[in-house]
Amino acid sequence: MFYEPILVGPFSIPALPAADGVGDPQISFLIEGDDVKGMHFGDTLWWKIRKQCGAPDIAFFFDQWCHRAASRDGTHRYFS
């Protein structure tokens, strides 16, 4: 289930319901436009969202230590 998307230029950004490892409600975002799909995951069970939405071209993850960006080619970047 997606929430109604926000439209920003060529991008459609719906919020996605999510849950963390203990089941508390969270939120994630799907960003699509110009044949590119990105996903932003907070502290969520991201693999369930990926299964529903398909593989993104780039994904952003957050954990208690850092932010991480991962691209389809397997590269990872870490941000503190």
Q: Is residue 73 a part of any domain in this protein? A: no
Residue 15 lies in a domain: yes
Question: Is residue 73 scored above 80 in pLDDT?
Answer: no
- Which residue stretches of the chain are H helix? 46-53
Q: What is the pTM of this model?
A: 0.68
Specify burial of residue 69 (Cβ count, 10 A radius: 0-12, 13-18, 19+).
Answer: middle
| Number of structural domains the chain divides into | 1
Residue 78 falls within a domain, yes or no? no
Domain that holds residue 51: 6-64
**pLDDT tens-digit series, residues 46-65:** 777 778 888 888 888 766 55
Asked if residue 45 lies in contact with residue 66, where contact means CB atoms within 8 angstroms, the answer is: no
The answer on pLDDT for 66 being more than 60 is: no
Residue 8, pLDDT above cutoff 80: yes
In the block, which residue shows the tokens 């080619």? 73
- Provide the 3-class DSSP secondary structure of residue 50: helix
